[in-house]
Amino acid sequence: MRDFTQPPDRVRQVGGLVLAAVLAITVAVMVTDPGDPTRVIPAGAAPVAAKPADSLAEILTAQAAALTRGDQAGWLKPVAPALQKRYRDLFRSLHALHVTEVDYKITERGKTTVEVELAYCFSQASCPKEKPRIAQKLTVTTSNVITALAEPSHRTDLQPTPWEAGGLVFAQGKRVTVGAPPALKSRLGEIVKIADRAAAVNDRFAAYVDNRQPRYRLFIATDRLWRSWYGGKATDWAVGYMQPLGEAGADVVINPSRLRTTEALREVIQHEFGHVATIGGVTSRHEDMWLVEGVAEYIGAQPKRAADTYNRKALRRPTVLAARPLRDGAGDKEVAAFYAQGHFAMDCLVTAFGEPRAMEFVRLRLRLGTELDEAARSVFGTDFRHVTTTCVNWMGHQVG
């Protein structure tokens, strides 16, 4: 059971400052009489002009505000009757995901269509400036009624998100929200219980690295949607992945059809939530894949240690602690050996220095970008070369 978190050369960059356009209308406080340009007429005595129609930018701003405050009628107000079911589904999905904030930005306008970007964040008391975004193409009438929502000319790197087409069903746990297509509705009860337990484990590790999560989000995919959501995952050995959303956190997606047992589901979900807990909200370095995956394997296996897992059989005698990242097209044995070494590397740090200090090393390196040697000296009181020697020797003795 492995996951795919995408090395930096393939990681989608998300975010981008997205602010709703707002038009300000300035009203003159005095009006002059055309017949007597020197005589000033008080504004209240002048004829009252008809209020100009709201611009599309103002309408979208009001619509976004309605969504944020949970006003479904306000959200549907500018939408034509034929399109209201689609928008109602989107409203329900976004609120099931605990939407905190949405903003629109008009990026291009034609005769009857408008290209927009919708920025959003979930479950955050304070949303970052750099929010994730999706692109939409709207068909609008001359009176700014939205009559169609179509594929944009250019998708953002996140699209298609699992939720943007609507139609998902959701289950709410104590610490998780799980979304699924109707075909997998019967799995929701089982998976939300597993995910809640996995979240409880990860809360401990998120606290170590000062990255406490307001809530975890998990989407379960059919085989067809697995190849579509977030651009699809082509890697044969992937069964789950963490999708970064920039400073706004991360989503987790799994394919339950590839996970045959409850234990496999638990481990993969716990592993992927481990990525959310340790690197959610930051961009990790490609060369740190050994530590990124090693700490997620360590978390995913909890409460077992590395020697008590299948990784014991996959471990090969190492020569370095910081293994080179997996190459594209790596075979099953190579993948298994890489994950096993990362797991045992993290287990060695815990064995040699204790879990709190090992996780502080993770925090310094993965979240703050501290150099390996500096992080080792700060946390372990010795240089990284000495740590490498210690752990390479220790792992060598675990190969059996």
Q: SS in 3 state form for 190-206?
A: HHHHHHHHHHHHHHHHH
Asked if 37 and 31 touch (Cβ cutoff 8 Å), the reply is: no
> What radius of gyration, in Å, describes the C-alpha atoms of the chain?
26
- Residue 399 has phi, psi (to 5 degrees) of -70, 125
Instruction: Give the integer Cα–Cα distance in Å for 366 and 378.
Output: 15
Per-residue pLDDT at 18: 29
Tokens of 24: 């300000």
Q: Is the dihedral of CA 319, 321, 322, 323 positive or negative?
A: positive
Supply the pTM of this predicted model.
0.84
Q: Which of 176, 100, 177, 104 is nearest to 135 (CA)?
A: 104
Res 215 pLDDT > 80: yes
Q: How far is residue 341's CA from residue 345's CA, in Å, rounded to a whole number?
A: 6
Which residue bears the tokens 């009203």?
A: 27
**29: pLDDT strictly greater than 90:** no
* Per-residue pLDDT band at 231 (split at 50, 70, 90): confident
The pLDDT of residue 41? 31
Crossing angle for the helix pair 355-362 and 289-301, to the nearest 10 degrees: 140
Note whether 132 and 119 are within 8 A (CB).
yes
pLDDT for the residue 332: 87
The pLDDT assigned to 13 comes to 30
Question: Quick one: pLDDT band at residue 234, thresholds 50, 70, 90?
Answer: low
The token pair at 261 is 């047992």
Count other C-beta atoms under 10 Å from residue 287's C-beta.
15
Confidence band (pLDDT; 50, 70, 90) for 194?
very high
Q: Which residues face 139 on adjacent strands?
A: 113, 148
3-state secondary structure of 110: coil
pLDDT band at 21 (very low <50, low <70, confident <90, very high): very low
Strands 238-244 and 2-3: parallel
Which is nearest to 293 in space by CA: 283, 279, 303, 309? 279
Q: Which pLDDT score is estimated for 235? A: 61
Beta bridge partners of 150: 137
Is 90 exceeded by the pLDDT of residue 42? no
133: its two tokens: 């975004």
Q: Which residue has the tokens 């609008």?
A: 140
Give yes or no for a contact between 102 and 94, defined as CB atoms under 8 angstroms apart. yes
Once rounded to an integer, what is the mean pLDDT over residues 372-378? 97
Mean pLDDT computed over 211-234:
90
Does 303 sit behind a cis peptide bond, omega within 30 degrees of 0 on the bond before it?
yes
Max avg pLDDT among 38-47, 50-59, 329-338, 368-377: 368-377
- 159 is written with which tokens? 């699209």
Q: What confidence category does residue 84 fall into, taking pLDDT thresholds of 50, 70 and 90?
A: very high
Determine which of 13-17, 115-119, 298-302 has the lowest per-residue pLDDT on average: 13-17
pLDDT given at position 178: 98
Distance CA 239, CA 1 (A): 6
Q: Which of 45, 59, 51 is nearest to 27 (CA)?
A: 51
82 in Cβ contact with 147 (< 8 Å): yes
